[in-house]
Amino acid sequence: MATKLFFLTTIPFLLFLPFFTTPCLGDVPSSPTTPVSPGTLCRSVPDPSYCKSVLPTQAGNVYDYGRFSVRKSASQSRKFLNLVEKYLSLQSTLSVGAVRALEDCQQLANLNIDFLLSTDQTVKATNSTLTTFKADDVQTLLSAIITNQQTCLDGLQTTASAWGVKKGLSVPLSNDTKLYSVCLALFTKAWVPKRNRRIAMELTSEQRIFRDGKLPLHMSSRARTIYESVNRSRRLLQTTTGGNNSILVSDMVTVSGKKGDGNFTNINDAIAAAPNNTDGSNGYFLIYIPAGTYNEYVSIPKNKKFLMMVGDGINKTIITGNRSVADNWTTFNSATFAVVAPNFVAVNITFRNTAGAIKHQAVAVRNGADLSTFYRCSFEGYQDTLYAHSLRQFYRECDIYGTVDFIFGNAAAVFQNCNLYPRQPMNGQFNAITAQGRTDPNQNTGTSVQNCTIKAAQDLATSNYTVETYLGRPWKNYSRTVYMQTFMDKSIDPAGWKEWDGDFALTTLYYAEYNNRGPGSNTANRVTWPGYRIMNATEAANFTVSNFIVGDSWIPQTLIPYSSGLI
């Protein structure tokens, strides 16, 4: 298998094939600079009636309407945050569950404001198509804003004691989500490159610095010694390029647990010591976590960018917790480990949630970090083990254990060379490996499983496979999941996929398989839903690292091996 690390070539950009594009644009002018009435333009968005009600009545071009929708969205996001904080100011009168759900909404609303400010800076600067990479950046942010809205609503809906709060927030949540959908549709129409456009992919100067693998001169001698030991002796970040490359780091600290021989005794203190809002030009802030069990709920906030965590290996460095929905946490905040800071990297760490199947939703890792990478990590839980929440993510050579919907969320996520282990669930339950949560046809999100191995965990295998195990089920209306070049053992049910609730989403989902192998990969008796298909190589190429998450532009700096295209 060829592993592509640094050599990038000119390739066709296939992301916007028919099932990636906006709905039919009807008689909307092909040029976004042509004036058009809002009624005509709104035919191209998921909710035309709402779109027409919020856009200015005078004719304008798609760029004008797009900028208007971004500005209006930014204003509405601030109003919604103020409303959430008003409820939180009354938290002494609210239940613990309601407060936790509101705190989720508060965090997500703050992220939305950031994403919309970034989007506004981009769209007000040009009346022309963006580069593919910049367009993907903004489309990713706008997709995440809609996901954040849905996550806030989900938390309120599953918290029975939050009924009054939910009643007060449901209308603004719904209307703002419709507005963000308009914003995403207009951005896609005006600023995203047309399909089949060929682009030259070049490494930036920053990526060349990472590629050269030089340690910074200002790095302390102690940090340099430890870092070189990690890279050389422990061989934690091996590559296929000769083994002489190093990750560029700005500084390094060690977490010692109770031993007292490191810089910090717990992981969160080490995270707090990392610099804020770095641009990565000086490299990663590296946190080395030696072998041991760390009973700690870890949260990496949005300002701790370019942070790398390296452990001593799966089942050696273990971060563990046991929060669950059954114990009054929302799914979102039940995570043992949560990260939202961009450009995060984790290597050789086990993440666990030990609540068990009986506690239902109990997340081991929640990942809402753009351009994040997990390499040789293990995720262990039962229901909802790995919450691939939003933005662009890459997982390589990881082990993932679970039962019901154990990989779920609405990120654009690629799992490559990973091991997926369905476990024995509670009596009466079935296993679903994925539950992808795409809610809008213009979101560039989905779950891509490539060259992985699906194999029953020991407890399921010893039960003689009496539990049904499915590749996935549609959590939301436009759920999108593909399996490519993956081994599937006999635990996979011949139907392959499972309904969520009757015929919900069966015509709007996108579920597909390509060139899989093993006894569970036979497609002869697969579901016959309108949204299910067997892909050809051209279709499958859309879900590779290079095309689906534009990985050639950001994974090389991590020195983590990956395959750019089909294998």
- Give the active site residues: 405
Task: State the maximum Cα–Cα separation within the chain, in Å, rounded to a whole number.
Answer: 69
Distance CA 181, CA 166 (A): 21
Alpha helix (H) residue ranges in 242-286: 267-272
SS3 59: coil
Distance CA 196, CA 86 (A): 48
Distance CA 448, CA 427 (A): 30
Half-sphere exposure of 424 (CA within 13 A, CB side): 10
Q: Are 512 and 486 in contact (CB under 8 A)?
A: no
DSSP character string of 480-548: EEEEES-EE-TTB-TT-B--SSTTTTTTT-EEEEES-BSGGG--TT----TTEEE--HHHHGGGSHHHH
Distance CA 449, CA 451 (A): 7
Q: What is the DSSP letter of 379?
A: E
- Measured from the Cβ of residue 166, the count of other Cβ atoms closer than 10 Å reads 19
What is the rounded radius of gyration, in angstroms, for the C-alpha atoms of the chain? Answer: 23
Structure tokens at 113: 């404001």
SS3 328: coil
Q: Are 520 and 492 in contact (CB under 8 A)?
A: yes
Distance CA 346, CA 314 (A): 12
Alpha helix (H) residue ranges in 158-248: 163-190, 205-212, 221-232
Half-sphere exposure of 274 (CA within 13 A, CB side): 34
Question: Who contacts 3 (Cβ-Cβ below 8 Å, separation ≥6)?
Answer: 240, 561, 562, 563
Question: The sheet that has 510-514: what strands, in order across it?
Answer: 249-254, 284-289, 307-311, 345-347, 372-375, 392-396, 412-416, 446-450, 480-484, 510-514, 532-534
Burial class (CB in 10 A: 0-12, 13-18, 19+), 259: exposed
Structure tokens at 38: 């809002």
What CA dihedral angle connects 205, 207, 210 and 211, to 10 degrees? -100
In angstroms, what CA-CA distances link 12 with 201, 334, 543? Answer: 10, 41, 13
Residue whose entry in the numeric block shows the structure tokens 């390509």:
514
Q: What is the DSSP letter of 116?
A: H
- Our CA angle for 292, 298, 304, nearest 5°, is 115
